[in-house]
Structures are given as structure tokens and as C-alpha cells.
Structure 1
Amino acid sequence: MGKYIKGILGSFQGKVGTVIGSSWKGIEYMRSRGKKSSKPPTQAQLIQQAKFTLLVRFVTTIGRLLTVTFKDSAIRMTGVNSAFAYNYDNAITGSYPAFSLDYSKVLVSKGQLHNAINPVVTTAGNGILKADWDYEAGVAMSNATDNCIVVVYCPELNQSVYKMAAGERSTRTAQINVANFNGRSVETWIAFITSDKIDVSSSFHTGRFLVS
């Protein structure tokens, strides 16, 4: 028998009535026990499974980051679950069975802190990506000491690299070494987090690049 201790949207393990609580690769979920059936899955079930698998594949590469960068929007759920829910609803494109992620709509951070002004990412050679942005003192929900978060994802390898303190907002620049992705295309995002790691901004997709 399972034990349910975190409220209606909380996680639990085991069986509670006709519901089973479980966790898969950091994604907590509930499913009906139901009866064994020899019937093939419905089209709706196949669509849901395909979307779930696609998004879990990406989210698990930055799971630790999401526990911090989505905690502001995580109401009675983990940051990972909150990120999964947002991107499931907003960042999946295409039709079954050829779903894909629209990386320009993917968020790797969600919060109220002001994001970068005019952010640009460029390749600097030797496996280095360089992020630059403008800074204006006195902007609401923006501090000179906010740290820039840089996230780089390689779809081909299904691997991510990120830095949570790549550079302070007032320095207007940051770098990240992604030499392990050399010769491959990567998707990039930047966001900001306060020095005490309490407040975060929503991320900004800064484009796709070929690492060289």
C-alpha cells in the first residue's frame, strides 16, 4: 500500500486505491491501476506516450538545473515537473508520430526576474560559445550581481552542458566551453538568477549553432 503525504498534486510511491504513484527518470506521475487489457492502445494514448517520451528525453538532461530554475512556478510539485508541464503544453510541435520540440518555445527557466537586454550568442572557436547582452542599471527586477545561466543542448547526442554562474549581469558577457559537441549543432538559451539563487528569469532561446 502506498502512502500519500504531499497533497493532491504531490508525489507518492505505491498504490493508493485505484491509482499508482511512481517516478521515471525524475518525472513523478500517477496512473490508474486499471484492469489488464489485450486491447491495443488508442490513438489518443499513442499520441500522449509519444509526446511524453520526447519531452522526458530532453528534460532529463537538465533535471538538476530545473529544480532551481522552475521552482518559482512549481506549486505543490517539483521544478522538474513544472518544467515538464509547461513545455508539454507549449513546446511540442508536429503530428503523430513525428513530434519534435520547437526549441524557440522551450523554457529552461521560468520566473519574474528581468532577462537579458538584446542577448546574442556567437561561436568563438575552440569549442567556446560566447554570450553578450546589454545592461542598464536601475531596471526593475534586475541586479548588477545577477548571474547569467547559459544552457547548451545537443539534440544529436541528447546531452546538455550548462553554467549557472557564467558571468554577472553587469559584465555584459559570458562564455561556456562545449568542445565535447565539436562538429555538431546545438541549441542555446540564457537566463539570469540572483546571487542568492532565490529569483530567476524566464529563459531566452538564443539560437542554434554549429560548434567549431
Structure 2
Amino acid sequence: MGKIENGINGGFTGTVGAVTGYYLNGKWVIRSKRRKSIKNKTGSADQKVCRSRFTMMQTFLSPIIAFIRIGFNLESKKRMMTTHNVAKSYNMLNAQNAAGEIDYAAVRLSFGNLSGAEGVKLEHDDAGVHFSWTDNANGDYARKYDQVMLMVYDVDNKTAIYETGGARRFKEKESLEIPSFYKGRAFHTWMAFISDDRMEISMSTYCGSFVF
């Protein structure tokens, strides 16, 4: 059963016959109901490979979805898709091989046109990990006050520590504290910048890996 929203001229939610209606990114959308078949349920060899790749990327992104929601927010609005789907689509195309293996250096955790990180250096000690970079604002006042976004991700144990509103670009350094019980674990790292009004963001930069 469907429910009409905002009168006869509005959209509808729910299912009517073979059509399902819902509201997505400010617009009413309708689509036909998916039909199940024995072939689709079992899956061809190619379908099974695709589903495996899909599952591997889904598993990688799930623990960091809160970061992704910010990192791909602007791009998702342009494409009228969810942030998770945009991030998954991009990274499956650009950071995953046919066997499903993920190239972490090619992974993007944010997507945009803002100036990205330059001259990145990484150090770590018993307190955590310390990022430094070169201020590339080039006299632009707004760029000077962009905030850094940082991610350290233990992909083996699906655990992440991150910051989405860190130091300003001109400060050239920021740290993430890592609890001592993570000793011995390997982390992959990324950095990005986001504008103060959250209306612009850079592509993330892979900063390497380290063992804490």
C-alpha cells in the first residue's frame, strides 16, 4: 500500500502494484519492483565475482561510514545518491582490482575540488600519530582556515580513529591519540581538508602506513 504525501500533486511512499515510491535527496523517486529469479539468486560466475568485490568494499567502508558521510557529502548531492554508494562506487572503480583486493594508496575517503594536502610527513610514538604538512593556502585567507580531516584505520581489525574538524591548514600539524591497547597493530592513514563552512572539500591523500 502506498501513501500520498502533500496531496494529489505530491509524491508517494510505499508500493503500488509494480511501482515503489520514496523521497531521495530532495526529490520524489519511483522505480519498478525488483523481480527475483532463480538465475539471479544463484548467480553466474561473473555475478559471484562482482558480489564478492562489492562485499569486500562494503566491509572496508562500513567502520568509517561517519567519516565517509562528510567526505562524500557534497559529491553525493550532485549525483543524488547516498554518500555510502558514491564512496563505494568510486573506490570499486579506482581502488580495487578484479580479484577484489583493495589498493589503499588509491582509496579516496573524501571527494572534492579544494586544494589537498602537500608535503605530508608522518611520525608516531607511544602517544599516537603526528601528521605535518605544508601550508599551501598561497595567501588565500579562506584556504588558510580550512580544517584538516585525519584517518588512521586498522583494516585487519576494522577499527578506525579519526578527526573531521582538526587544526587549520596554516597550523601545519595535528595529532591523533591512539590508546595503548592498539600497540602492535598496523594502521593505514589518510588526510583531507574541508572549508570552514563545510561547503568545499579536498580529495583525500593517502599518507602511508605504520605499526603502532
Which TM bucket (shorter chain)?
Answer: 0.7 to 0.9
1:85 match: 89
Preserved CA contact (<8 Å) 2:123 2:130: yes
1:189 match: 190
Aligned equivalents of 1:194, 1:163: Cα separation in 2: 14
Offset at residue 141 of structure 1 (A): 9.6
Q: What 5-or-longer segments of structure 2 have no aligned partner?
A: 1-14
Structure with bigger strand share is: 1
Offset at residue 198 of structure 1 (A): 1.6
Preserved CA contact (<8 Å) 1:110 1:202: yes
- TM-score, normalised via structure 2 length: 0.80
Preserved CA contact (<8 Å) 2:104 2:206: yes
- What SS does the aligned partner of 1:174 have? strand
1:110 match: 111
2:109 maps to a residue whose letter is V
2:73 maps to a residue whose letter is K
Aligned equivalents of 1:11, 1:154: Cα separation in 2: 38
Aligned equivalents of 1:137, 1:52: Cα separation in 2: 38
2:32 match: 17
Structural RMSD (CA)? 2.5
Preserved CA contact (<8 Å) 1:111 1:201: yes
Structure with bigger helix share is: 2
Aligned equivalents of 1:141, 1:45: Cα separation in 2: 50
Aligned equivalents of 1:140, 1:190: Cα separation in 2: 20
1:114 maps to a residue whose letter is S
2:64 maps to a residue whose letter is I
Offset at residue 10 of structure 1 (A): 8.2
Q: Which moved more, 1:105-114 or 1:74-83?
A: 74-83
Greater Rg over alpha carbons, structure: 2
Preserved CA contact (<8 Å) 1:94 1:100: yes
CA deviations on 1:175-196 (whole Å, 9 max, x unpaired) are 0012353211110000001122
2:74 maps to a residue whose letter is D
Q: Which moved more, 1:137-146 or 1:66-75?
A: 137-146
2:111 maps to a residue whose letter is K
Aligned equivalents of 1:140, 1:170: Cα separation in 2: 11
1:61 corresponds, among 54, 60, 63, to 63
Fraction of identical pairs, as percent: 23
Preserved CA contact (<8 Å) 2:21 2:28: no
Aligned equivalents of 1:40, 1:200: Cα separation in 2: 41
CA deviations on 1:88-114 (whole Å, 9 max, x unpaired) are 11111252xxx3210000000111110
CA deviations on 1:9-35 (whole Å, 9 max, x unpaired) are 9888xxx5342xxxxxxxxxxxxx222
Preserved CA contact (<8 Å) 1:154 1:181: no
Aligned equivalents of 1:102, 1:188: Cα separation in 2: 13
1:205 match: 206
CA deviations on 1:45-104 (whole Å, 9 max, x unpaired) are 111111111001111111122122112221111222111110011111252xxx321000
Aligned equivalents of 1:181, 1:39: Cα separation in 2: 41
Preserved CA contact (<8 Å) 2:21 2:29: no
Using a 3 Å threshold, how does the CA distance of structure 1 residues 156 and 39 change in structure 2: closer, same or farther?
A: closer
Preserved CA contact (<8 Å) 1:147 1:193: yes
Preserved CA contact (<8 Å) 1:153 1:187: yes
Using a 3 Å threshold, how does the CA distance of structure 1 residues 158 and 39 change in structure 2: closer, same or farther?
A: closer
